[in-house]
A = this chain, B = another copy of it.
């Protein structure tokens, strides 16, 4: 008879969905389900997270109940008090004591954290990061952020908001960012930024191949990269700027933190194009002694659609002292 492994409940909250799943300590996900997140106001958003968990727990599945709940959330999270402080892409503008509320509702230990911190913990415990004590988890999707692991520990910072790499800049005289700074990486090299630049520049490139993909959800970063490879001047301009800017910023980061590995995740990284280009850029432009200690810039080995759940599971296992 097969041994039934203990599981935790992982919840991965994003701007457009809630993913709920069981995860065992090896990082296997026996069951997961996707739910809609309510975005109209703070109360309905929190209610939709609770409803998703309640519904999921009623699915007949595992022989065991989950031992704890872990939740990865966008935005600013106080992981110590268990408070979701704020999010820019969901209507969370004042603090929510989410850990206390979920603990009360589901009578289980609960831990919450920022989603990129959670994903970085997944890389550290279940991914390529388990082989090294110093790595950067670079997430490029709609936005850009980085999870920093130094001395085998996630760098959280004083307010648990370390890693906002997307709002660092390597061009102090660059274009104003909506955050108030200038030349930030996010509008130049994130998925959202790349698509916005393509749309903004199309009038200057009226014959661009990309003009055929302007309906919502048609244009993707991957399509822009393919078009660049095929010689499309608009795609080349936007993607070269993204690579040069992000590559230069990564060299700064390598000089500063001296990591042995950069692990890439997020929707824009999945096709491997950006990783190959960044690797080339860094190889040519980084100081030899810095590049020497870098073993590679690689795609995460964790499944892209599971890394959020896996990160949430690490929070849960940690909350009951099992990691």
Q: Please state if B245 and A172 are interface contacts (CB–CB under 8 Å).
A: yes
Q: For residue A167, which residues in chain B have a CB less than 8 angstroms away from its CB?
A: 255, 287
B287 touches A155 (CB 8 A): no
The answer to whether A119 has its CB under 8 Å from any CB of chain B is no
Q: Is the CB of A169 within 8 A of B252?
A: yes
Q: Given A150-B150, A172-B171, answer yes or no on A163-B256 (Cβ-Cβ < 8 Å).
A: yes
- Contact yes or no, B150 A258, CB < 8 A: no
7 A-B pairs with the lowest CB-CB distances in the bound complex, closest first: A157-B258, A158-B260, A159-B293, A162-B258, A168-B252, A150-B155, A172-B248
A170 within 8 A of B: yes
- Identical subunits present: 2
Q: Which A residues contact B (CB, under 8 angstroms)? A: 76, 132-134, 146, 148, 150-151, 153, 155-165, 167-173, 179-181, 244-245, 248, 251-253, 255-260, 285, 287, 289-290, 292-294
Known: A150-B150, A151-B156. A169 touches B168 (CB 8 A): no
Question: Contacts of A244 on B, CB cut-off 8 Å?
Answer: 172
Residues of B within 8 A of A157 (CB): 134, 150, 257-259, 293
Residues in B with CB closer than 8 Å to A294 are 158
Q: Take A153-B151, A155-B150, A287-B167 as given contacts and tell me if A162 and B292 are in contact as well, using a CB distance cutoff of 8 Å.
A: no
Contacts of A160 in B (CB 8 A): 258
A168:B293 contact, CB within 8 angstroms: no
CB-defined contacts of A163 to chain B, threshold 8 Å:
256, 258
Report chain B residues within 8 Å CB of A257.
148, 155, 157, 162
The reply to whether A293 and B258 contact each other, CB–CB distance below 8 Å, is: no
Query: Which residues from chain B contact A289 at a C-beta distance below 8 Å?
Result: 76, 159, 161
Contact (A153, B150) CB under 8 Å given A168-B252, A252-B168, A287-B167: yes
Whether A159 contacts B258 by the Cβ 8 Å rule is yes
Taken together as a complex, chains A and B put the C-alpha atoms of A54 and B209 apart, in Å, by 75
Q: How far is the CA of A71 from the CA of B13 in the complex (A)?
A: 50
A294–B157 CA distance with the chains assembled, in angstroms: 10
- Contact present for B153 and A153 (CB under 8 Å): yes
Please list 30 pairs of residues, one from A and one from B, whose beta carbons are closer than 8 Å in the complex, sorted by A's number: A76-B289, A132-B158, A133-B158, A148-B256, A148-B257, A150-B150, A150-B155, A150-B156, A150-B157, A151-B153, A151-B156, A153-B153, A157-B257, A158-B293, A158-B294, A159-B292, A161-B289, A161-B290, A162-B258, A165-B255, A169-B248, A170-B170, A171-B171, A171-B172, A171-B173, A172-B245, A172-B248, A179-B287, A181-B285, A253-B256
